[in-house]
Each structure stands twice: as structure tokens, then as C-alpha cells.
């Protein structure tokens, strides 16, 4: 039986079948676009997307189980106890105390001589330092950065989408929702332009612990901390050592806006995490070519695309990495790897990724006519000069981003020419160029976006998706500086040549500088970061009007019965708090429904005078003004902040 299966896998018939499956999936992709209208596709996606994301999530879980021994081994290796080698005696050629620590073996091949490890040496493992950076980063993100919404009211919409997926199995935001004795009903559902990956993750937390928007903050804290680990392992794969990985992890952990936005409910942290995870899975697969690693990559890649609109770019990066065939000639002691495109396993496993990502293409087609807040073009070269100036100087002005981090990244880009890895192989500059491509894709896409400037409102959050590749380059730069301080790599000796003749001097003469320089560099990074702590702790004036609306609204609903309906521009916000809510336009377009709600809830229908009633936007203000003309509004709770007035008013029909 196995022989017949193997023969089929090796036959041309299998290749034909694989090709036909790709054609079938492509046909399904274009058939839906050609045969259905955009509203029909949106209606299909509201039901389909949660199921696809669930299937994708389960496949990732299967991939993690298949790779569990590799994952556990990677972490276990960081804590491995190694004997401390004795200093090599060099006779009278070295000064007292100027020893180079090397592994010393007996002439007969006996085990190395070791000293009893000190208490510090027993703790001096890469895993301990990485754990320390992980814990510090998690504390900074969750305790130092304020836990607050910063992009209103998108974060409420994400959480409400999660609420809808968790309890109704539908992807979208509720424009009219109600609670009947604890049971949640979505009466009007609107398909949202943003991808559903981040809301799906929140929905998992809601299913486990109930609806509480605080869970989204905690989830972002954990994803940020997980990103620290991802950065470390990416650099370790590229550099073959741990110091570069620790520098990269530290840089990523203390980037100011990384910390700030990782204690919000915004989607950018999850987008950065899963893009980094896709990069790590790609590098692992290219280095091992193991089918289990390829399977995990095929599951992670489409899931990463569902986090944000620009997340789809990670497929371009993965395609470039696979096309480049990184690590193809460094598989010592095996022969060079075949190109992935020449292997059947790659194309078969690729069917999984292709099938999972098809609904995402339908999503982009369905929302392609939406304005995204732009009256004109959303992407144009017109926006390039201004965005390039703002987004470029962001990394150089040392006001919002530490310029030392940028300097290290530039050093890593300029000086990294390929060096021995953990197994003696060289990756060459291709790996660094791929990391640069990762940065350019996620930084460059916003240069052409109408709202892509880091000074446009709260859109500095768009920088989060390029912090990880920049941290990787900074780690490589830190390691390159350390090697330069330590005198570089030892020059190889020719047969019969003395060490002095081979290296122009004693190799490793300054090797003892490595540890002091490493400690100095880490202290310098922390010292340069200290001046950004006030920025991390700052709430700021950005979105003060919407922020106070959010604050007062939570206080207002405590003054009305649970069985009451709020007519509001932001139903998502109230539904998260367990309060019935309906879109404000219903008060104008659906007067019969409002009268029915007044009867059903014994007159407890309330109008929420929100931030949108205080803006200069004529459309939003006109809704508020017309409701005031059609209904008598009795104030229940009123609050003011500067020129803005917020309130909750009981609605009754005009006599």
C-alpha cells in the first residue's frame, strides 16, 4: 500500500492533479467575483470568514504540535548548562591575566578541563537574559504605557466584531444589537472594511472569559511580548549567535510607540506579531526543508494576512525569500538543497495556503468601492513627498524614535557581509537584504497612502509593522560593532603557519573586550531610551474629544435601566458594555421602529449626544439636529469638556 502511494506521489499524474486543484481554486476565486455582486459577497463573507479563520487557527495548532519538539528544543537549548572552559596557557607570549577563553582538550582527546561554575555562570545563559528582556518588555507595555484606546472608535468596532463572532458566528459590526436576559442578538449587521483576523483573536478570549474589552488590551500585551521572542529567534537564525538576538529583542522591547500601542486594542500589534511569525517560519523552513515546518508556514502565512489590509504584503516577502532560496548552500553536512519550486511538497502544501487566503481576496473586492475616509484617491504618488519626509525623519529626529536604534540598524545593513553561523555555515548578505525588503514593504506602502503620514492623527500606529525588521537589523548592527571592537574574526591559518603570521598578530587579542562592550551597549541603549519614558506614559491631547465621550458614556449608562435602548452613532461601544444600542440614523430613517422600541422598553429609549454631534462634519451634526427636531429630549446625564457637550437624553415623540 505504501509502495503504491509512493509511486503515485512520484508520478506525473500527481503533478497533473496538483495543477488541476490550483486551477479549481483559482476558478472559484474568479467565479465568485464575476457571478456575485459586492453586497452578496459581503453577506457570504459574514458567515464564511469566521469558519475559515477557525479552520486556519486549528491548522496552526496542528502545525505547532507537529513542530513541538523543535520549538521546545529551541527554548531548552537557551538554558543548556555548559562547562566553563579553562583559560589556555600561552607561555610567555601573553601578559598576565590576558587569557582567551577557549575550549581546552587533552592531547589524547579526553574531555575538556572545566572549572566549577560560579553562581553567576550558572545564570549566565541566553535564555535567562531573553527571559529578563521578555518580562521587562511585558511590564513596560502593560504597566508603564497607559491602558487606553487611542484610535476611536475603531478599537470599539474591533471588539464588537469579536463579540459578534464569538456569540453569533458572524463577521461584522452590529448597527443594532440587543440583550434579552443575557442572550445577545444582532439585528442589523454591517460588514466592516477592516480584515477580521484581529477581531477573531479577541473573540477567542471572549468565548473563554466573556465579553470584556480589557481582554483585548491583555491580548495585545501578550502579542507584543511574543514579538520579543520572535525577533530573537529570527536574528539567531541569521546571525548564528545569541548576542545579536538579545540586542534585537531589547531594541524591539523598548521602542516607545511599540510600547504605547501595545497597550491599546488596535490591530497593529497583532499584524506585526503574525508578520514576524510568518518570517520566522519561512526562515526555519528554508534552513531545514522539513515538511512539518513547511506545513506550519502554510498555516501561519494566510492567517497573518487577515490581521490588517497591508498584512497581505507578507506573502510577497515570503515569495521573495523562497525564490531567493536562502540557506540553499549552507546545509552542512548535507548536499545543497533543491529549490523549493522544484519540490512537490512545496506545491502540495501551498494548496492549503491558497485555499485559506481566497476569502481574503473576496474581502478586498467587496470593499473596493468604500471611501476609507478619502474623498479622492486613497493611494497616489501625490502623497509620496510629504509622507517620505515625515516618515523618514521619524527615525532620525530622536524625538519619537531613538536615533541610536536607527544607527544600529544602518550599521547592520552596511556591515553585515555574512559570518559563520551556529553550524559553521555562512548565509551571505542575502538574508540581510531580505530583512531590508521586509522593512521597505511595510514602511514604503504608507508613503503612497492618503493617511499614511505618521503625523496624520494617530496614524503613527502604522509604523508598528516595520519595527520588527528594524529591530532585527539593529541586532545585527550591534553584533557587528562588537566583533569590530573585539578585533574581528580569527584569520584561518595555513598549514605550517604560525598564528602571528596568519592573522598579522595574535588572533583574539581583543576578544576579552566582547563582554564589556556587550554590557556597555545594552546600558547605552537603556540610557538613550530613558528620555522617552515620559512619551510612553503620556496620554496626550490626541483624540481628547472622543476619549471623553468614551469615558462619560460609560458613566451615563449606569443611570438608565438595563432594559433600555441607546440611539447612538457608536452602537459598538455600548454593546460591549451589555447595553442595547441602535445606530442614530434609525431615529430619522426608521421612526416606526423607534416607536416600537419605546413601547417594548416602556419608554426607555435614549439619545446619546456623542463626539460626532460636536464635530464640524455636517452629515454627523445634521443627524443629531434632526433627532432634536423630531423628538423631545429630556436630559438624564450631561457632561462638558472644553467646547464639547456630551449627554444622554430620554426620547419621546413630539406632540
Q: Tens digit of pLDDT for each residue in 227-251?
A: 999 999 999 998 877 999 999 999 9
Please give the residue that has the higher pLDDT: either 80 or 379. 379
Residue 6 has pLDDT above 90, yes or no: no
Task: Give which of 467, 492, 472, 508 is closest to 239, Cα–Cα.
Answer: 472
**Inter-residue contact 50 to 170 (CB < 8 Å):** yes
| Long-range own/partner contacts, residues 619-626 (CB < 8 A, 24 or more apart) | 620/569, 623/569, 623/584, 623/585, 623/587, 623/588, 624/584, 626/587, 626/588
Q: Tens digit of pLDDT for each residue in 416-455?
A: 655 544 334 445 677 889 999 999 999 999 999 988 999 9
What residue has cell string 417594548? 600
Determine the pLDDT at residue 495: 42
Q: What is the phi/psi pair of residue 400, to 5°?
A: -120, -20
Q: Tens digit of pLDDT for each residue in 173-220?
A: 999 999 998 899 999 999 999 999 999 999 999 999 999 999 999 999
Determine the pLDDT at residue 373: 66
Using CA atoms, how far apart are residues 173 and 176, in angstroms rounded to an integer? 9
Give me the domain span that covers residue 313: 11-77+216-490+509-537
CB-based contacts of 2, cutoff 8 Å, min separation 6: none
Arithmetic mean of pLDDT, 630-655:
92
Arithmetic mean of pLDDT, 449-477:
93
Using CA atoms, how far apart are residues 165 and 179, in angstroms rounded to an integer? 16
pLDDT exceeding 90 applies to what percent of the chain?
Answer: 70
CA distances, 516 to each of 121, 168, 554, 598 (Å): 16, 58, 53, 74
Determine the pLDDT at residue 549: 95
Write out 585-629 in H/E/C secondary structure.
CHHHHCHHHHHHHHHHCCCCEEEEECHHHCCCCHHHHHHHHHHHH
Peptide bond into 333 cis (omega under 30): yes
Residue 141 has pLDDT above 70, yes or no: yes
Classify residue 555: in a domain, yes or no: no
Determine the pLDDT at residue 334: 57
Question: How does DSSP classify residue 12?
Answer: H
Q: What is the phi/psi pair of residue 115, to 5°?
A: -95, 160
Classify residue 358: in a domain, yes or no: yes
Q: Tens digit of pLDDT for each residue in 483-531?
A: 888 775 543 444 444 433 434 444 444 666 778 888 899 999 999 999 9
Q: What is the phi/psi pair of residue 653, to 5°?
A: -65, 145
Residue 579 has pLDDT above 80, yes or no: yes
C-alpha cell at 404: 541610536
Task: Give which of 306, 327, 305, 309 is closest to 317, Cα–Cα.
Answer: 305
Arithmetic mean of pLDDT, 549-572:
94
What residue has cell string 416600537? 596
Determine the pLDDT at residue 87: 46
Helices (H), 263-329: 268-288, 291-305, 313-324
DSSP 402-433: -HHHHHHHHHHHHH----B-TTS-B--THHHH
Classify residue 644: in a domain, yes or no: no
Write out 329-370 in H/E/C secondary structure.
CCCCCCCCCCCHHHCHHHHHHHHHHHHHHHHHHHHHHHCCCC
C-alpha cell at 79: 538554558
Q: Tens digit of pLDDT for each residue in 152-172?
A: 999 999 999 999 999 999 999
Confidence of residue 13 (pLDDT cuts 50, 70, 90): confident
Determine the pLDDT at residue 88: 43
Secondary structure (3-state) at 379:
strand
**Inter-residue contact 350 to 297 (CB < 8 Å):** no
Determine the pLDDT at residue 329: 66
C-alpha cell at 264: 491599546
Range from 30-34, 89-93, 387-391, 590-594 carrying the lowest mean pLDDT: 89-93
Residue 293 has pLDDT above 90, yes or no: yes
Classify residue 55: in a domain, yes or no: yes
Residue 124 has pLDDT above 90, yes or no: no
Residue 400 has pLDDT above 60, yes or no: yes
Using CA atoms, how far apart are residues 92 and 149, in angstroms rounded to an integer? 66
**Inter-residue contact 601 to 565 (CB < 8 Å):** yes
Q: Tens digit of pLDDT for each residue in 53-68?
A: 999 999 999 999 999 9
Using CA atoms, how far apart are residues 51 and 222, in angstroms rounded to an integer? 24
Q: Tens digit of pLDDT for each residue in 295-316?
A: 999 999 999 999 999 999 999 9
Confidence of residue 335 (pLDDT cuts 50, 70, 90): low
Secondary structure (3-state) at 286:
helix
CA distances, 650 to each of 525, 556, 592, 642 (Å): 56, 12, 17, 24
Classify residue 562: in a domain, yes or no: no
Range among 109-113, 381-385, 491-495 with highest mean pLDDT value: 381-385
Residue 112 has pLDDT above 50, yes or no: no
Determine the pLDDT at residue 120: 56
CA–centroid distance for 160 within its chain: 20
Rounded to a whole number of angstroms, the CA Rg of the chain reads 29
- 552 CB burial (10 A radius; 0-12, 13-18, 19+): buried
Please give the residue that has the higher pLDDT: either 456 or 143. 143
Residue 410 has pLDDT above 70, yes or no: yes
Using CA atoms, how far apart are residues 151 and 307, in angstroms rounded to an integer? 16
Residue 116 has pLDDT above 60, yes or no: no
Mean pLDDT of the chain: 86
Helix %, strand %, coil % for the chain, to 5? Answer: 60, 10, 30
Task: Give which of 69, 52, 66 is closest to 352, Cα–Cα.
Answer: 52
**Inter-residue contact 632 to 555 (CB < 8 Å):** no
Q: Tens digit of pLDDT for each residue in 252-267?
A: 999 999 999 999 999 9
Classify residue 403: in a domain, yes or no: yes
Secondary structure (3-state) at 498:
coil
Taking each helix axis as running N to C, give the angle between helix 268-288 and helix 197-209, from 0 to 180 degrees, rounded to the nearest 10: 100
C-alpha cell at 148: 487606553
Confidence of residue 646 (pLDDT cuts 50, 70, 90): very high
Using CA atoms, how far apart are residues 340 and 328, in angstroms rounded to an integer? 10
**Inter-residue contact 568 to 584 (CB < 8 Å):** yes
Task: Give which of 371, 378, 373, 367 is closest to 190, Cα–Cα.
Answer: 367
**Inter-residue contact 165 to 196 (CB < 8 Å):** yes
Classify residue 586: in a domain, yes or no: no
CB-based contacts of 595, cutoff 8 Å, min separation 6: 653
Q: List strands edge to edge, sheet with 173-180.
A: 183-190, 173-180, 580-583, 565-568, 605-609, 644-653, 631-641
Using CA atoms, how far apart are residues 425 and 26, in angstroms rounded to an integer? 40
**Inter-residue contact 355 to 51 (CB < 8 Å):** no
Write b or e for each residue in 13-40: b if 16 or more Cβ atoms lie within 10 A of its Cβ, otherwise e.
eeeeeeeeeeeeeeeebeebeeebebee
C-alpha cell at 346: 512545496
Determine the pLDDT at residue 101: 29
Determine the pLDDT at residue 8: 62
Task: Give me the number of domains the chain comprises.
Answer: 1
**Inter-residue contact 174 to 164 (CB < 8 Å):** yes
Classify residue 243: in a domain, yes or no: yes
Amino acid at each position: 500500500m505504501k509502495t503504491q502511494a509512493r509511486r503515485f506521489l512520484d508520478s506525473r499524474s500527481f503533478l497533473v492533479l496538483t495543477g488541476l486543484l490550483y486551477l479549481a481554486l483559482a476558478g472559484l476565486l474568479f467565479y465568485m467575483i464575476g457571478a456575485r455582486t459586492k453586497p452578496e459577497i459581503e453577506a457570504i463573507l459574514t458567515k464564511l470568514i469566521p469558519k475559515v479563520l477557525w479552520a486556519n487557527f486549528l491548522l496552526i495548532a496542528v502545525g505547532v504540535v507537529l513542530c513541538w519538539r523543535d520549538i521546545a528544543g529551541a527554548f531548552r537549548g537557551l538554558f543548556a548548562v555548559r562547562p566553563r572552559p579553562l583559560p589556555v596557557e600561552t607561555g610567555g607570549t601573553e601578559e598576565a591575566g590576558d587569557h582567551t577563553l577557549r575550549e581546552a582538550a587533552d592531547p589524547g582527546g579526553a574531555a575538556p578541563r572545566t572549572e566549577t561554575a560560579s553562581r553567576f555562570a550558572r545564570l549566565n545563559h541566553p535564555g535567562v537574559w531573553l527571559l529578563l528582556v521578555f518580562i521587562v518588555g511585558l511590564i513596560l507595555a502593560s504597566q508603564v504605557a497607559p491602558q487606553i484606546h487611542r484610535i476611536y472608535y475603531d478599537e470599539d468596532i474591533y471588539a464588537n466584531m469579536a463579540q459578534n463572532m464569538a456569540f453569533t458566528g458572524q463577521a461584522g459590526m452590529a448597527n443594532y444589537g440587543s440583550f434579552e436576559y443575557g442572550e445577545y442578538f444582532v439585528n442589523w449587521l454591517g460588514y466592516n472594511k477592516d480584515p477580521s483576523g484581529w477581531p477573531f483573536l479577541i473573540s477567542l478570549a471572549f468565548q473563554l472569559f466573556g465579553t470584556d474589552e480589557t481582554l483585548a488590551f491583555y491580548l495585545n500585551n501578550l502579542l507584543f511580548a511574543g514579538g520579543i521572542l520572535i525577533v530573537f529567534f529570527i536574528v539567531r537564525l541569521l546571525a548564528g549567535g545569541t548576542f545579536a538576538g538579545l540586542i534585537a529583542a531589547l531594541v524591539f522591547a523598548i521602542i516607545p510607540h511599540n510600547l504605547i500601542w501595545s497597550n491599546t486594542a488596535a490591530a497593529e500589534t497583532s499584524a506585526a506579531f503574525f508578520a514576524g511569525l510568518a518570517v520566522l517560519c519561512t526562515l526555519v523552513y528554508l534552513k531545514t526543508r522539513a515538511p512539518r515546518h513547511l506545513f506550519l508556514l502554510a498555516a501561519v502565512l494566510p492567517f497573518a494576512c487577515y490581521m490588517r489590509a497591508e498584512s497581505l504584503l507578507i506573502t510577497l516577502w515570503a515569495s521573495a525569500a523562497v525564490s531567493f532560496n536562502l540557506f540553499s548552500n549552507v546545509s552542512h553536512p548535507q548536499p545543497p538543497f533543491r529549490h523549493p519550486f522544484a519540490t512537490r511538497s512545496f506545491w502540495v502544501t501551498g494548496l492549503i495556503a491558497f485555499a485559506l487566503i481566497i476569502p481574503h481576496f473576496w474581502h478586498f473586492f467587496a470593499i473596493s468601492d468604500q471611501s476609507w475616509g478619502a474623498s479622492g484617491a486613497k493611494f497616489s504618488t501625490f502623497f509620496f513627498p510629504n509622507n517620505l519626509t515625515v516618515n523618514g525623519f521619524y527615525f532620525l529626529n530622536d524625538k519619537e524614535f531613538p536615533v541610536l536604534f536607527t544607527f544600529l540598524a544602518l550599521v547592520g545593513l552596511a556591515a553585515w557581509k555574512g559570518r559563520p553561523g551556529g553550524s559553521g555555515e555562512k548565509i551571505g548578505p542575502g538574508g540581510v537584504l531580505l530583512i531590508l525588503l521586509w522593512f521597505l514593504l511595510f514602511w514604503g506602502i504608507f508613503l503612497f497612502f492618503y493617511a499614511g503620514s505618521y503625523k496624520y492623527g494617530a496614524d503613527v500606529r502604522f509604523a508598528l509593522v516595520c519595527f520588527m525588521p528594524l529591530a532585527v537589523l539593529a541586532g545585527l548592527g550591534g553584533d557587528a560593532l562588537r566583533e569590530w571592537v573585539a578585533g574581528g574574526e580569527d584569520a584561518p591559518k595555513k598549514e605550517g603557519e604560525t598564528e602571528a603570521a596568519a592573522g598579522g598578530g595574535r588572533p583574539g587579542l581583543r576578544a576579552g573586550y566582547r563582554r564589556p562592550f556587550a554590557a556597555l551597549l545594552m546600558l547605552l541603549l537603556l540610557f538613550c531610551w530613558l528620555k522617552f519614558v515620559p512619551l510612553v506614559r503620556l496620554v496626550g491631547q490626541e483624540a481628547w474629544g472622543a476619549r471623553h465621550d468614551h469615558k462619560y458614556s460609560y458613566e451615563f449608562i449606569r443611570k438608565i435601566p438595563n432594559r433600555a435602548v441607546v440611539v447612538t452613532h457608536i452602537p459598538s461601544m455600548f454593546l460591549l458594555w451589555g447595553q442595547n444600542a441602535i445606530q442614530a440614523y434609525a431615529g430619522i430613517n426608521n421612526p416606526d421602529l423607534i416607536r416600537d422600541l419605546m413601547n417594548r422598553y416602556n419608554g426607555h429609549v435614549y439619545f446619546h449626544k456623542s463626539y460626532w454631534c460636536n464635530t464640524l462634519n455636517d452629515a454627523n451634526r445634521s443627524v443629531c439636529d434632526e433627532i432634536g427636531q423630531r423628538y423631545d429630549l429630556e436630559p438624564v446625564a450631561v457632561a462638558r469638556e472644553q467646547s464639547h457637550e456630551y449627554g444622554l437624553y430620554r426620547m419621546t415623540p413630539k406632540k
